[in-house]
Amino acid sequence: MSSNSDPSTLIPPDAIETPAAIVDLGQARRNAVRARSELASHGLEWRPHVKTHKSRTLARIQLDTGVAGLTVATLHEAEVMATLGADLLLAHPPVGPAKGRRLTDFLRHHPLSVGLDSKASLDTTAEAARNAEREVPILVEVDVGMGRVGLGSSEEVVALAREAGEGQWTEFAGLLFYPGHIRVPAEEQGGELERVSRRLTRVLEALGAAGLPARIVSGGSTPTLWQSHRIEGVTEIRAGTCIFHDRDTVAMGVARPDEVAYRILTTVVSTAVSGQAVVDAGSKALAKEEFRSGGRGYGVVRDRPEVTVRAVSEEHGILDLTGTSWRPRVGDRVELVPNHVCVSVNLQDRLLAEEAGGFRPVPIEGRGRVA
């Protein structure tokens, strides 16, 4: 069966049905080692976000580098990663009774820190903590410019931190922020990083004055990875995309093209229309994420940066051949790098790790919402 997910099976290259997600575990390991050692050289911890790979295999690679722990976005990711014995942070606010019940079940067996920005989410978390009889460290989320989640004023942060600190089953542990609005090359990040630092400094001073010191300040991203130490007050970095990289992070100069450890293997299925070749990977394999670094398309041909995926429908990707003399033929295999790797991984049933003689399935256990 072509959907074999058994990691003990080595699948020969010609038995791989496309589209297929290929990972280079050696390169992923090198990416992890580099992130960990660069951050450590600045006295920063790495708590990689597993939303990128959702896979125990990749999480083990990160844990082997000596990271502080892992970050998760869903309770399913938490349940999967808890089996590795890692210290976990839920960087997504749990809200409502259904999440609360699942959180209770989780806390009965494992510790978890939680990032949140509202009284409602603190109530959900505190109730789960009380039911499970386990104290939960709380990181109060601050908006540093992205405008997605996070409190805007120091007064609001202090009030929620105080409430977390006074709870019988919650402890105020520190701050959480995500500078997801910074998506320019490193040399253009200075001004924004200074604004983030100033914002954090004000909040940390207000917390200090209120007798609520922050033990942890958790932040960072892949676009700002190599500049993490310029964010004043930060203690740990949650960059996740950097395990694989993608077209976006290469365009921002965070990684070289040869450091990308993920690609979609496709087959050319039509060249009937001139100026293009159609491959069998569309939005259901590559994803339909806009290219946020300027320029167009939904991905790029590996080793041919001049050839982009001009358009996608669900199972078709249209390669733009107008800027190249390369003319792939029907049946040729072509490898694509997606704009945003995390959403592409989330569309796969399994990853395939390239080895001498074939490909070995890598399960994506944390994908989906249910156990």
Q: Which residues in this chain contact ligand PLP in the complex, by CB under 6 A?
A: 49, 91, 178, 221-223, 238-242
Q: How far apart are CA 270 and CA 280, in angstroms?
A: 9
- Looking at beta carbons only, is 275 or 368 nearer to ligand PLP? 368
Query: Minimal distance in Å, beta carbon 219 to ligand PLP?
Result: 8
Query: Minimal distance in Å, beta carbon 267 to ligand PLP?
Result: 30
Cα 70 to its chain centre, rounded Å, is: 11
Query: Minimal distance in Å, beta carbon 143 to ligand PLP?
Result: 12
- Looking at beta carbons only, is 19 or 223 nearer to ligand PLP? 223
- Looking at beta carbons only, is 121 or 221 nearer to ligand PLP? 221
- Looking at beta carbons only, is 106 or 178 nearer to ligand PLP? 178
Query: Minimal distance in Å, beta carbon 28 to ligand PLP?
Result: 14
Query: Minimal distance in Å, beta carbon 230 to ligand PLP?
Result: 16
Per 3-state DSSP, the chain is made up of helix, strand and coil in percentages (nearest 5) of: 35, 25, 45
- Looking at beta carbons only, is 250 or 301 nearer to ligand PLP? 250
Q: How far apart are CA 362 and CA 5, in angstroms?
A: 7
Contacts of residue 362, defined as CB under 8 A and 6 or more positions apart, other chains included, come to 7, 23, 25, 55, 57, 58, 350, 351, 352, 353
Which one-letter DSSP state was computed for residue 9? Answer: P
Q: How far apart are the first and last CA of the chain?
A: 24
- Looking at beta carbons only, is 71 or 348 nearer to ligand PLP? 71
**Do 138 and 123 form a contact (C-beta atoms < 8 A)?**
no
Q: What are phi and psi of 332, to 5 degrees?
A: -65, 150
Query: Minimal distance in Å, beta carbon 239 to ligand PLP?
Result: 4
Query: Minimal distance in Å, beta carbon 31 to ligand PLP?
Result: 11
- Looking at beta carbons only, is 219 or 297 nearer to ligand PLP? 219
Preceding amide of 19 cis, omega within 30:
yes
Name the burial class of residue 51, with classes exposed (0-12), middle (13-18) and buried (19+) by CB atoms within 10 angstroms of its CB: buried
